Structure 1
């Protein structure tokens, strides 16, 4: 057990019941008798009722975890040449320093991860054929905002809820007026994020109600777990990619009497995560490559795998919903007054966090499409259209966020569901 886990265990130890003693003279006790002879009656203070989560989830985490200590994720010791880190006094000291730094502390991302676990637990019960995409997205986002106790850019939704269907692998969320309804035969990717002080938990899963594609989901989830297992300090990104590909390609799906191999989607990837920036600059590819870049101590990663029953390649297709202000966008003079106004709103409400058109509607913006298009053309805002396989192909996604701590690897988003 690391020093940090010992400290957390001590903090989480339940307080002992406090007792008050009240002297009471019983019948027949004569005046002047020694006080020690008096009978004592113990009176317990009433216990406070522990807060529980509501259905739908709306109870903020501060009420469920009043101590401010949140569950630690799955702890994995480093392998091979890095196994010494677990017991190293120097690395244990480094961890204590991290915990004392309010800008880096693991508490923020653990809080975000617990919100994710509780919201997705409820969402998995709520999501079913017959529900509209907007109903599902709002259920997840309203739960996230309530549990994380949304407060401007301090904490809130990490990015728009991805609800990509079937051949669409990523970057679809319903725009206002969307009337798509979930069907029994659909394969639904659910990808949503939570952030606390810019520390983003990015985690995704896939649901299907038709057992035809069970092996597709199984293969993609196994590939994500492979990536999580292989990730570590000083590990080359190309080696993780090769392991992910090998795992995923060991699966196949029978559809209509035909055996289809499960292929990793070659032009999608996992990624490092920076504060307030979902894509931090490093990519964890899903197929063999020559990227010699190494993972480093202290980095956060989203290990994210996508599988397909088709060619293993996606293209942009469909109406765009996802956008994000570019972190180091050029200082371009804007001619459109509406674009200037919209940029101020984006900066104030989202910063560099991804947003969608529904979020602009929610904060009171209207008739903004021309201004938004202008910001994209000027290179200030990046658009992220839906990424789709060929029609008729099915795709799946699983994803976890992990931290490469000095002593151990912590899979913060791990839950009992996946």
Structure 2
């Protein structure tokens, strides 16, 4: 989910590849269409099973009745083995990750080393042993176990793998959004604030770059000529994975997608502890705007959408306090810091490279910090705020989610909460009509010892 700059008319607050073959250098491998780090197939179980078989073989010369008893015993063991068999993912995805990763450990993301030339003098003096100890200690704090974000990332990979093959022209936007959301709830085993959807599924089309998901009654149908951005989030105990990809169904816009994917990877490469946010934006812009291509004899230079940004991510808060620009900002001296989570996302456009609020709003989020006294004057807003607090808290939601939990006639109350500043609205963000936009996004974790691209997959 993107963050837009303060230059937009709705006043939304500023928050703002290595390519797939590089995955061979990481500890990820493809298994049943998902990624494992090799630790999820228990060798202990296999060793135990071999020992059982050897024991039966060694007693093969026993009396016939003893042999029969052993045969029964072995059959029972075989049944026990089959009962331990791990589940595999279905299509559509409906198997929870705990049934697939039975040891409770989830795949490590792509590991990248930091550019140590950017380190402060103080950090350069820290030993590797001290960094490893920091990493051990930080994971003991509530909500900081890396396994939480890795579980969310694996859910994202499995859901998007199916989505990329299942989404076809002719589907309604509601069908597409629900395909993603139903899969997410099932795979991450959604349970209140413990785990679930991180924010509404964005299915923005063509000149619309972000923040569009269908409201009830939306009949729009995906066309073969459309460029579709699919942006969705998964969380476990408030640790949100925010990752997005773009689909097109005709080769016309392939160069646009290639440019944006490359720019996102440039941003990931430039990111790291002590990296300056303005310099990351320059790295992204240099790669993005080096691409141009022709459509029907017209040359398009890919432009960065200058008022859209990446952003830091905090627990239960998709937009943290820092924005990552996708254009050069030499005066922005703010640095990334150890332990932070970031969504590195870029948007490329064939239009003017600037978006404005346009269309019916669908995305909302209650402010993380609530005032002690709220002067609510619309009766329906009282109950709606209680519903938001109960089901979403500070996680973003959309109108369809309110419909799903049975809320009725809530629009007046919702608008009132927005007017009070209790709830923030996030309208669709669009470039000029006729433009095409694309998006790619990954979530990264700045560990003390290395940079982990937690949402990386074999797809992007």
* TM-score, normalising length: structure 2: 0.84
Residue 326 (structure 2) aligns with: 286
Residue 199 (structure 1) aligns with: 239
* Distance in structure 1 (CA, Å) of the matches to 2:172 and 2:191: 28
- Which one of the candidate residues 375, 399, 404 is aligned to 1:357? 399
- Which one of the candidate residues 198, 201, 212 is aligned to 2:252? 212
Judging changes above 3 Å, is the alpha-carbon distance between structure 1 residues 245 and 85 closer, same or farther for their aligned structure 2 residues? farther
Q: Runs of 4+ in structure 1 displaced over 4 angstroms?
A: 8-13, 22-25, 40-44, 82-87
Residues 86 and 102 in structure 2, CA contact (< 8 A), matched pair in contact too: no
* Distance in structure 1 (CA, Å) of the matches to 2:398 and 2:238: 18
Task: Give secondary structure in 1 for the equivalent of 2:139.
Answer: helix
Please show how residues 301-340 of structure 1 align to structure 2 within 5 Å.
301-330=342-371, 331-340=373-382
- Which one of the candidate residues 295, 299, 303 is aligned to 1:255? 295
Residue 108 (structure 2) aligns with: 72
* Distance in structure 1 (CA, Å) of the matches to 2:301 and 2:99: 48
Instruction: Note if 1:14 corresponds to 2:43.
Output: yes
Q: Deviations over 1:269-314 (max 9, x none)?
A: 0000000000001011011112100000000000000000011100
Residue 406 (structure 1) aligns with: 448
Judging changes above 3 Å, is the alpha-carbon distance between structure 1 residues 222 and 144 closer, same or farther for their aligned structure 2 residues? same
Residue 415 (structure 2) aligns with: 373
Instruction: Note if 1:113 corresponds to 2:149.
Output: no
* Distance in structure 2 (CA, Å) of the matches to 1:352 and 1:345: 12
Residues 184 and 209 in structure 1, CA contact (< 8 A), matched pair in contact too: yes
Q: How many angstroms does 1:10 deviate by?
A: 6.6
* Distance in structure 1 (CA, Å) of the matches to 2:162 and 2:456: 16
* Distance in structure 1 (CA, Å) of the matches to 2:438 and 2:201: 16
Residue 311 (structure 2) aligns with: 271
* Distance in structure 2 (CA, Å) of the matches to 1:13 and 1:92: 26
Q: How many angstroms does 1:85 deviate by?
A: 9.6
Residue 33 (structure 2) aligns with: none
* Distance in structure 2 (CA, Å) of the matches to 1:354 and 1:326: 10
Cα RMSD after superposing both structures: 2.1
Residue 24 (structure 2) aligns with: none
Residues 223 and 245 in structure 1, CA contact (< 8 A), matched pair in contact too: yes
> Which deviates more from structure 2 when the two are superposed, residues 326-335 or residues 394-403?
326-335
Task: Give secondary structure in 1 for the equivalent of 2:317.
Answer: coil
Q: How many angstroms does 1:102 deviate by?
A: 3.4
* Larger gyration radius, structure 1 or structure 2: 1
* TM-score, normalising length: structure 1: 0.92
* Distance in structure 2 (CA, Å) of the matches to 1:284 and 1:181: 33
* Distance in structure 1 (CA, Å) of the matches to 2:445 and 2:183: 25
- Which one of the candidate residues 262, 271, 274 is aligned to 1:231? 271
Residue 36 (structure 1) aligns with: none
- Which one of the candidate residues 92, 105, 108 is aligned to 2:132? 92
Q: How many angstroms does 1:400 deviate by?
A: 0.2
Task: Give secondary structure in 1 for the equivalent of 2:424.
Answer: strand
Higher relative CO (Cα under 8 Å, sequence separation at least 6) belongs to 2
Unpaired segments ≥5 residues, structure 2: 1-26, 28-36, 65-69
Residue 228 (structure 2) aligns with: 188
Task: Give secondary structure in 2 for the equivalent of 1:17.
Answer: helix
